[in-house]
Structure 1
């Protein structure tokens, strides 16, 4: 696919949209960047790069006239493929693609891609650190960091790209083909965008749709939805499991991580040496080792990386200890399943701060675990009322409603005593109070340090 001389409409003036618009313009395309928000609503957005590279801006009303003579439409991850303008474009046979499809078309290096509902950022970051030990030029991006289309420009054919890929990004993929891919887990998420679990699963499965028998897919054997995907994939399947000893794959036995592949067995390391908390992180480690194994990382390098890796920001991140009570930032937990994994990581009694923009997912399992492990539940944000009702239904005691994260931290401070831990794990998106989960996490850390 060639972009030079093509007329391209990029939808969404977020980080990815701005980046891909500039990348395509610099490759000789004629690019228009459009956002449904007006210039007034985007006044705090840094659009200087757009002006410098000569991209045309079209802000506000997105009418059919934007499609005049357009060859391709490129979607930022936040833009649904079902918006009216995109539907009209498809009816006109205009090719619609995601930003990661552009990245794939521009990339000369092999791509390693990781998707799943939870654990993507930790696993992707860990794989990136492992692959860096091979002395190849390594780029880590996708759903974390800069836009992948911008990142791939810095890596040649002898390098390697490690990418976190979301269902939103896969929605507009066409030829995207990772040489090694991983699907970590599937639980209901983003159903407001995908409408059903079946559609959400179908989006995740696009990560292996263009693979061949020369490629690899790493799948979670313990997740029945993911395990059954093995019947559909065209590539070589490599399972990981923390519960079952596998005939072929990577698993835990007697406290040791073990790889079996093509009738050979490799001992990786004891799980006791890993610094990450929680059983879910053992799964992330297994997936990362499986991917790294096929990306050419030696066992010694895998082990050295594992021993030194302490996790990523905003995911069960220890902030500090105040009056003998540890405070943890898990702002990246934007759905109940992710918060469940955080709760399971602690043996200590928990003061939990939760709530935010509600995704309307089922709260049953989450509240059952709160009943078991949480001594004080502090709720805030738009989800507050529904979360409180669900907590009452499950006989959760000590429920506290607050109006801000600052108030939540102050209340937790006054309630907390050893051996409790204070955990921010919202089980919700951040957009009711913050621009992102990163901003929410940084504010939480600042408030804790101010204690």
Structure 2
């Protein structure tokens, strides 16, 4: 009894599949053939056996990035295998906002969505966050810089970013890297950063806190920084709703 849930996009795991002596349920984003769960438009198609087929909408799934979609498919296969009903799965998909401070959806104000990715404390995690969005971004970034090739990063993301709002002790470093490539604004604190990000955004844009730096110059830790962002967004919401 039981089943193994396998990511068919993971080349490293394919070599171990012959040694798995149980039912194998496969999912993937890169292909569809022979899979038990795959995507088509905004639909997850799920097939366990001849008795269990299901189509699920994930149009309201709030988590961004292929890695989160892949995680969703694995979770759906797990609960589908044990017989959880479609309406329950779709309800959870629409309501789940992910872990705090990791591409966490906060709120949408006048067509502008706010995401908290305070856990992004280095250039690699910042790049992953930026790649998770198709919309134009206003990024809030800065803090204690951990090192890395800023110039190469800027070249890779410059077409995705409408503006950068800079905070923290690394402001001057980021100014030099962004100058002439990505518009930037310097902010005094998180409340000021959120306000300035909103002021330069357009409907359909995303305001993304993804600092690419550690937080200890201005905050206790990344959680404190993320919570400060959420509080500033809530204050902006209340102010604009008056």
After TM superposition, is the score higher than 0.5?
yes
Equivalent residue, structure 2, for 1:423: 208
Question: Does the aligned pair in 1 maintain the 2:63–2:98 contact within 8 Å?
Answer: no
Distance in 2 between residues matched to 1:324 and 1:232, nearest whole Å: 46
Distance in 2 between residues matched to 1:390 and 1:361, nearest whole Å: 12
Distance in 2 between residues matched to 1:432 and 1:297, nearest whole Å: 49
2:119 to 332, 336, 339: 332
2:53 matched to 1:269? Answer: no
2:184 matched to 1:396? Answer: no
1:319 to 91, 98, 107: 107
After superposition, the Cα gap between the structure-2 partners of 1:306 and 1:411, relative to the gap in structure 1 and judged at 3 Å, is closer
Could you say what secondary structure the match of 1:377 adopts? Answer: strand
Distance in 1 between residues matched to 2:112 and 2:15, nearest whole Å: 48
Matches within 5 A, 1:180-191: none
1:227 to 2, 7, 11: 11
Question: Does the aligned pair in 2 maintain the 1:353–1:426 contact within 8 Å?
Answer: yes
After superposition, the Cα gap between the structure-2 partners of 1:412 and 1:256, relative to the gap in structure 1 and judged at 3 Å, is closer
Equivalent residue, structure 2, for 1:437: 222
How big is the shift at 1:371? 0.9
Distance in 2 between residues matched to 1:292 and 1:286, nearest whole Å: 10
Matches within 5 A, 1:352-391: 352-360=139-147, 366-384=153-171, 386-391=173-178
CA deviation string 1:252-284 (max 9, x = no partner):
135431234567772231333x33253434223
* TM-score, normalising length: structure 2: 0.71
Could you say what secondary structure the match of 2:11 adopts? Answer: helix
CA RMSD of aligned residues (A): 3.7
Could you say what secondary structure the match of 2:32 adopts? Answer: coil
How big is the shift at 1:377? 1.0
After superposition, the Cα gap between the structure-2 partners of 1:289 and 1:390, relative to the gap in structure 1 and judged at 3 Å, is farther
Could you say what secondary structure the match of 1:343 adopts? Answer: helix
Question: Does the aligned pair in 2 maintain the 1:375–1:398 contact within 8 Å?
Answer: yes
Larger radius of gyration: 1
Matches within 5 A, 1:103-142: none
1:405 to 190, 193, 196: 190
Could you say what secondary structure the match of 1:372 adopts? Answer: coil
After superposition, the Cα gap between the structure-2 partners of 1:310 and 1:382, relative to the gap in structure 1 and judged at 3 Å, is same
After superposition, the Cα gap between the structure-2 partners of 1:215 and 1:245, relative to the gap in structure 1 and judged at 3 Å, is closer
How big is the shift at 1:350? 2.5
After superposition, the Cα gap between the structure-2 partners of 1:284 and 1:340, relative to the gap in structure 1 and judged at 3 Å, is farther
After superposition, the Cα gap between the structure-2 partners of 1:422 and 1:305, relative to the gap in structure 1 and judged at 3 Å, is closer
Distance in 1 between residues matched to 2:3 and 2:203, nearest whole Å: 51
Question: Does the aligned pair in 1 maintain the 2:65–2:133 contact within 8 Å?
Answer: no
After superposition, the Cα gap between the structure-2 partners of 1:404 and 1:218, relative to the gap in structure 1 and judged at 3 Å, is farther
CA deviation string 1:94-121 (max 9, x = no partner):
xxxxxxxxxxxxxxxxxxxxxxxxxxxx
Equivalent residue, structure 2, for 1:278: 64
After superposition, the Cα gap between the structure-2 partners of 1:271 and 1:448, relative to the gap in structure 1 and judged at 3 Å, is closer
Give structure 2 stretches of 5+ with no counterpart.
Answer: 237-242
